[in-house]
Amino acid sequence: MLAFVIRRLAQAFFVVVAMVVLVFFGTYVIGDPVWMMVPGDATQEQVEEVRRTFGFDQPVYIQFLTFLGDVLRGEFGRSYVHGSSAIGLILDRMPATLELALAALILAIVIGIPLGLFAGLKPDHPVSRGIMAVSILGFSLPTFWVGLMLIMLFSVMLGWLPATGRGPVISILGIETSLFSLEGWRHLFLPALNLALLKISLVIRLTRSGAREASLQDYVKFARAKGLSPRRIIGVHILKNIMIPIVTVLGLEFGSLVAFSVVTETIFAWPGMGKLLLEAIQRLDRPLIVGYVMVVVLLFVTINLIVDILYSALDPRVRLTGSQS
Amino acid sequence: MSAATSNPVPAQGEFARFASRFAEDRVAVFGLCLLVVIVAMALLAPFISPQNPYDLGRVDIMDSRQPPGTKAGDGFAMLLGSDGMGRDLFSSILYGLRISLTVGVLSGVLAATLGLVLGLIAAYAGGRIETLIMRIVDLQLSLPSVLVALILVALLGKGIDKIILALVVVQWAYYARTVRGSALVERRKEYVEAARSLGLSHARTVFRHILPNCLAPVIVIATVQTAHAISLEATLSFLGVGLPQTEPSLGVLIANGFQYMLSGKYWISFFPGLALLLTIVAINLVGDRLRDVLNPRLEK
């Protein structure tokens, strides 16, 4: 187990280093950042001045080492637009994004698992066919367009839910969140549902195939023969056995929820770090872009690492096959 | 495969068998018909659209934001309404489809080529080269495509060529992984050994003998990935970092309608989105059926 953890840690480290190198070359070497900082009518002296101030006149390896040092200290410079520390801005916006992703994850589980179970246990029922058709549609629907349609339907036509913004937040244990108030959920529901759509389809499919497989197993037949109630068989015996793959996939998908929230946050004007990234891209705010990429990569690598280690703890076969290859 | 290409008769028989198996699923046939209609409409846009929406002489600003069915100043009925600039939405959608499909197909072909070559090299060469290529593939696949594409267009800037480049970068790894998987199985087979013993070069063995036998899964991936690319391009364009206003794909049209959404003028965003959805669904239906038909495990 220890060897496995160490190997995975080394892999995670490799990914982070690779990303640091890529981001450095992507942002610092391709294109001259100086031209984005100076006004169009700057004189040659002013350009040189900016170049010296920011260290762009140094050789590439020196610049890279400086960049590496900055990354290690979590310092990406000041945002050109906001004027304050890039990493501070990102961390400020992070709770809103994580809250949105978490709410989407909850929706995916609460909606996806019951529907998937139904479709898996009664595969020939017309409702099951309907569920599967909807889940195929869920994979095809362009997320951003669904977001627009949700706003159209629930905010403009029906007027039930607010279309934009986060709503009031309540501070709990020093973290501001809208998860604990009705008004907060009214703001949260549409963006979270929009973000969750793909994941709901995914959970339905996973649960369905898992339930179909499990319901044919001997232990289920035995439980039925023993006279256990269907509710107990489904709730305890089937659900417990299909949860491992679902939890794993959802864990891994949490990162992609954070990434996809760029789209959802923009549509619903949700003040998270995804919206911040998009504004930074439109304004070529380099420190913010670099900071965001590094924060998200770190988040991703950490999530993958935790899921992998948990998974191998739950299912020893993963460890064994991993060490053979 | 090489026997089939040199002799056209069994190849045709093979295709007929393939077509009849494909046609067993009515939903897939519907998807294929839908796709053919969409592609035909896109190709014929200049002939069948009531208006060239980008010919300033034909567009009248007085026609702007009209609901579906309104008669334009020129006398034709704007079936799907008009946008904020007075362009007929139906015509804009036809022209937009051309751009969306071009970006999707072109990026798919380029990504498939790159992925095929790298995947085959990885499988055939093995060793360090394989490890290096597959590590890059793993790295690529561990990051969500929308994020990688966003960052790339942020670095590269707007424009149709840059979007295609970004889409190629996010897609090639899927092809490389798939091709490597099937090429690893193929290269152990006798015909590869036979080709080598005949003194054929490595390149010829890989591209003429191994490659044709790895194509079935690639075709399936290609359909799914093309749908994905079209959707991703629309997403980026909607966010304002994809195609510029001068290349109005479906995503750009949807983005233009967004500002009118809150005042209840739903059609400017709704219909381009519907066109996008139908295109993606049609491609996915065909792809799903192809997966079943081409999967050797399901063959009786």
CA–CA distance, B299 with A241 (Å, rounded to integer): 31
Q: How confident is the model at residue B114 (pLDDT cuts 50, 70, 90)?
A: very high
From the number of C-beta atoms within 10 Å of its C-beta (0-12, 13-18, 19+), residue A114 rates as: middle
CA-wise closest residue to B183 among B118, B120, B117, B112:
B120
Question: Looking at chain A, which residue has its C-alpha nearest residue B146?
Answer: A260
pLDDT in tens, B27-67: 888 889 999 999 998 888 788 777 777 776 666 666 666 77
Say whether A27 and B155 touch across the interface (CB within 8 A).
yes
Per 3-state DSSP, chain A is made up of helix, strand and coil in percentages (nearest 5) of 75, 0, 20
Which residue has better confidence, B261 or A261? A261
Residues 6+ apart with CB under 8 A from A312: A1, A4, A318, A319, A322
Retrieve residue B53's tokens. 């929406």
- Maximum distance among all Cα pairs of chain B, rounded to whole angstroms: 75
Q: What is the pLDDT of residue A76?
A: 75
| Alpha-carbon distance values, B273 to A52, A267, B101 (Å) | 49, 15, 14
Interchain pair B144, A156: CB under 8 A: no
Are B108 and B225 a contacting pair, CB within 8 Å? Answer: yes
Work out the average pLDDT over A245-272. Answer: 85
Q: In chain B, where are the structural domains located? A: 73-276
Cβ distance A142 to B280 less than 8 Å, yes or no, reads yes
Question: 3-state SS of chain B?
Answer: CHHHHHCHHHHHHHHHHHHHHHHCCHHHHHHHHHHHHHHHHHHCHHHHCCCCCCCCCCCCHHHCCCCCCEECCCCCEECCCECCCCCEHHHHHHHHHHHHHHHHHHHHHHHHHHHHHHHHHHHHHCHHHHHHHHHHHHHHHHCCHHHHHHHHHHHHCCCHHHHHHHHHHHHHHHHHHHHHHHHHHHCCCHHHHHHHHCCCCHHHHHHHHHHHHHHHHHHHHHHHHHHHHHHHHHHHHHCCCCCCCCCCCHHHHHHHHHHHHCCCCCHHHHHHHHHHHHHHHHHHHHHHHHHHHHCHHHCC
- Does residue A39 have a pLDDT over 80? no
Q: Does A262 touch chain B (CB under 8 A)?
A: yes
Average pLDDT of B148-161?
Answer: 82
Q: Indicate if the alpha-carbon torsion angle B82, B88, B92, B93 is positive or negative.
A: positive
Q: Does B241 touch chain A (CB under 8 A)?
A: yes
Q: Is A170 helix (H, G, I), strand (E, B) or coil?
A: strand
What residues of chain B lie within 8 A of the CB of A165, using their CB?
Answer: none
- Hey, what amino acid is at B116? L
More confident residue, A233 or A165: A233
Residues A27/A54, Cβ–Cβ less than 8 Å: no
pLDDT in the model for residue A228: 82
pLDDT in tens, A90-142: 888 888 898 889 999 999 999 998 898 888 888 788 888 888 888 878 888 88
Using a pLDDT cut of 90, give the percent of chain B over it.
18
pLDDT > 90? residue B107: yes
Q: What number is the average pLDDT over the span A240-266?
A: 84
Predicted model pTM = 0.82
Are residues A145 and B241, on separate chains, in Cβ contact within 8 Å?
A: no
pLDDT digits (tens, 9 = 90+) for B160-216: 888 999 999 999 999 999 888 888 888 888 888 888 888 888 888 888 888 888 888
A25–B contact, CB cutoff 8 A: no
Residue A77 has pLDDT above 80, yes or no: no
For residue A175, the model assigns a pLDDT of 64
H/E element, A310? helix A286-314
Over 50: is that where the pLDDT of B72 sits? yes
Contact B139 A18 (CB under 8 A): yes
* pLDDT value of position B101: 92
Domain definitions of chain A by residue range? 2-72, 87-314
Nearest neighbour of A145 by CB, restricted to B154, B264, B276: B276
- Measured distance CA(A9)–CA(A236) in Å, rounded: 35
Which pLDDT belongs to residue B240? Answer: 84
Q: Does B217 touch chain A (CB under 8 A)?
A: no
**Chain A touched by B261 (CB under 8 Å):** yes
Reported as a single tens digit per residue, the pLDDT across A181-220 is: 677 777 888 899 999 988 899 899 888 888 888 878 888 8
Q: Give domain A87-314's CATH architecture.
A: Orthogonal Bundle (1.10)
Residue A44: predicted pLDDT: 78
Q: Which of B146, B258, B269 sits opposite A263 (nearest CB)?
A: B146
Q: Give pLDDT, residue A161.
A: 74
pLDDT for res A320 = 55
> Which ipTM was obtained for this model?
0.78
Contact at 8 Å (CB) between B102 and B121?
A: no
Q: Which of the four pLDDT bands, split at 50, 70 and 90, describes residue A29? A: low
Chain position carrying tokens 């990569």: A297
pLDDT of A58 > 60? The answer is yes
Sign of CA pseudo-dihedral A120, B284, A268, A82: positive
B144 close to A260: Cβ distance less than 8 angstroms:
yes
Give the mean model confidence (pLDDT) for residues A54-69.
77
| pLDDT value at B5 more than 60 | no
Q: What is the pLDDT of residue B193?
A: 84
B147 touches chain A (CB under 8 A): yes
d(CA A277, CA A265): 10
Q: Does domain B73-276 have CATH number 1.20.1250.30?
A: no
Using CA atoms in the order B144, B150, B156, B158, what is the torsion angle rounded to 10 degrees? 140
The pair of three-digit structure tokens given for residue A301, joined into one six-digit string: 């690598």
